[in-house]
Each structure stands twice: as C-alpha cells, then as structure tokens.
Amino acid sequence: MLTGVVIKAYSSYYYLQTGEKITMGTLRGRFKKERFSLLVGDEVEYSLTGEGKGIIENILPRHSMLKRPMVANVDQVMLIFAAVNPDINPALVDRFLVLAESSQLDTIIVINKTDIADIEQVANIATIYRDIGYCLIFTSTKSGEGIAELQSKLCDRITVFAGPSGAGKSSLLNTLQPGLALVTAEVSQKIGRGRHTTRYAELLPLSAGGFVVDTPGFGLTEFSDIDAPELTYYFPELARLAPECRFNTCLHNKEPQCAVKQALAAGKIARDRYESYLYILQEIQESKKGF
C-alpha cells in the first residue's frame, strides 16, 4: 500500500500525491456509506488499480482542520503584512493572529517590502511580537531579503498564506516559485466572478518540498466562532497570566484582582495588544447579544 496526500478533489476523484507522482484515487464503498468527507490535505493509504489509478483504503487521522478554506492537516499560517504601503497596522495583525490561534495553527509573521521601509519604523512593532514568542521574518521580493528563510519554513509542511490585500502574498509566492502566483490569481478571479463559489481549495506542491494552499486563509476577519472566555487563549501573553487572576472566569476587563491588568500597569505586556484584546472582546459580546 502507498501513502499519499489529497491535493485536489474533483467530484468523486481525489488527486493523490506521493513523492513526485500523482494518482487519481476513488474511495472504497464503505467510506461512502459512512458519509465520510475526505478533504484536501488528508493523508491516505491507497493501492494501485492501474496506471495512475488507485483506490483509497484508509484515511489517516487528521491533526487539524481549517474551516476557511476547508483543508485538513494545515500546519501553519504565514501572515503577510507590508511594512509600508499599506502600512502595517498592529490592530489588524492582532485580528489575524486571533484567527490563526483559534485554528490551532503555528504562525509566522512576515513583514514584507523592507526595500522601501525604514526598519526603525517597524522595529517597535516587531519587538512586541517577538517578545510574545512569535517567529518574524523580514522579506522583500525586490531585494530578495528573507526569501531563503521563508523557503526553509515551508518545506515539509502545509502552509496557508493570509494577510491584507496589497501586502505581497502573490508576489512572495511567485518569488518562491515562479508560476505559483498565477494559479492563485486565477483562483481569486474565479471566486471574484462568483463562479465556483463552493469549490474546494487545492494544495500546490512546492519543488523544494511542502505545499501551499491555493486560496488565502481567513480573509474575512470575523470572530463568530469564538466565545468571550476563549479569547484569552488566543493572546499567548494573556493566557500565561490568566491562571493568576482572582476569578477563573476573569475576562480581564472590569474584574478585580486581575493579573493581566496588573501586568499592564507594570508595563509587562503591550498596551496595544491589551487594547486589541478588549476591542475584539467587545465585538464578540455585541455579536452574541442578539441570540
């Protein structure tokens, strides 16, 4: 039996990649009875039934599932921001980080366009995120800075790109592997025209190893799936403090004897981050009111 990754689903056919080879697989009948939905990103065991054809015998356990787009086993998200043009906006960085954390993905923050930015301008912002423990990479598709480092983070993993429009996602993909961005641009165009709205994402294999999801992840920054008490856990530096709060239901807002507010007063956590937390908290609370 062979092991492969589902890189594309087309009606009842699944494109399975094993090394460089692609096999068209179909599911054994018993999976259909169980109404199991096989997703792009799933790892399967299959046997060959002919040249380039196979039958899927086994689906290996999923370690993660991203909902937007629907992809199994995504390992990490590359959050792409431009240092300037459009200027990096910490509140927006925090919104993307919350979505990444709530999807249980490892996160790499990429600050692009260093060729036209004064690094001093973004140094303070970068320090805040480094101190929390996030991995940061500075890149430029014009000077080539950071591209090798980015490449090394992609191999052997399934990565989804995300970030505001204009930050340089397609330029980075194209710099990593010419031709890649073309595929993603066609996809966004099709989605833009309202066709293929229910299409599933595809995995694009990188020649240096690893896969990139062809559609950017969580473009819509809404938090409807998150409950107020959970939000703390998506701010790692607050999550570390929360056990020391007086009340275990503490939302670090109006509650007394709150370890988060004490740390804030002592300058141990960044005020901008705390404000992002409160802002998103309020948004979540407002959105639940109507229900």
- Which partner, Zn ion, ligand GDP, none, binds residue 171 by CB below 5 to 8 Å per kind? ligand GDP
- Picking from 208, 139, 214, the residue whose alpha carbon sits closest to that of residue 170 is 214
Nearest distance in Å: CB 111, ligand GDP: 10
Contacts of 130 (CB under 8 A, 6+ apart): 136
**Of residues 82 and 263, the one with the C-beta less far from Zn ion:** 263
- Of 19-27, 60-68, 190-198, 239-247, the segment contacting Zn ion by CB under 5 A is 239-247
What tokens does 56 get? 């899927």
**Segment contacting Zn ion (CB under 5 A): 51-59, 216-224, 251-259, 271-279?**
251-259
Out of 6, 7, 258, 263, the only residue in the binding site for Zn ion (CB under 5 A) is 258
**Nearest of 206, 186, 191, 172 to residue 68 by alpha carbon:** 191
Least CB distance from residue 201 to Zn ion, whole Å? 38
Rounded-to-integer distance, Cα 178 and Cα 181, Å? 7
State yes or no: residue 252 binds Zn ion (CB under 5 A). Answer: yes
Of the candidates 50, 28, 48, 47, the one whose C-alpha atom is nearest the C-alpha of residue 38 is 28
Q: Decide: is 264 part of the binding site for Zn ion (CB under 5 A).
A: no
Three-class secondary structure of residue 163 per DSSP: coil
In this complex, which beta carbon is closest to Zn ion, that of residue 81 or of residue 274? 274
**Strand partners of residue 16:** 6, 23
* Strand 158-162 versus strand 211-213 pairing type: parallel
If contact means CB under 5 to 8 A according to the sort of partner, which of ligand GDP, Zn ion, none does residue 113 touch? ligand GDP
281 sits near Zn ion (criterion: CB under 5 A): no
Helix, strand, coil % (nearest 5) of the chain? 35, 25, 40
Token digits of residue 170: 């397609």
Stretch that binds Zn ion, among 1-9, 51-59, 93-101, 255-263 (CB under 5 A): 255-263
Stretch that binds Zn ion, among 9-17, 109-117, 164-172, 258-266 (CB under 5 A): 258-266
260 binds, among Zn ion, ligand GDP, none (CB under 5 to 8 A by kind): Zn ion
- Phi first, then psi: give them for residue 150, nearest 5 degrees: -60, -45
Residues in contact with ligand GDP by CB under 6 A are 112-113, 115-116, 140-142, 165-171
Residue 250 touches which member of ligand GDP, Zn ion, none, C-beta under 5-8 Å by kind: Zn ion
Distance, CA of 149 to chain centre: 18
Question: 142 touches which of ligand GDP, Zn ion, none (CB within 5 to 8 A by kind)?
Answer: ligand GDP
One-letter amino acid of 190: K
Residue 273, both tokens:
């981050």
Nearer to ligand GDP, 73 or 141 (CB): 141
Residues that bind Zn ion (CB under 5 A): 245, 250, 252, 258, 260
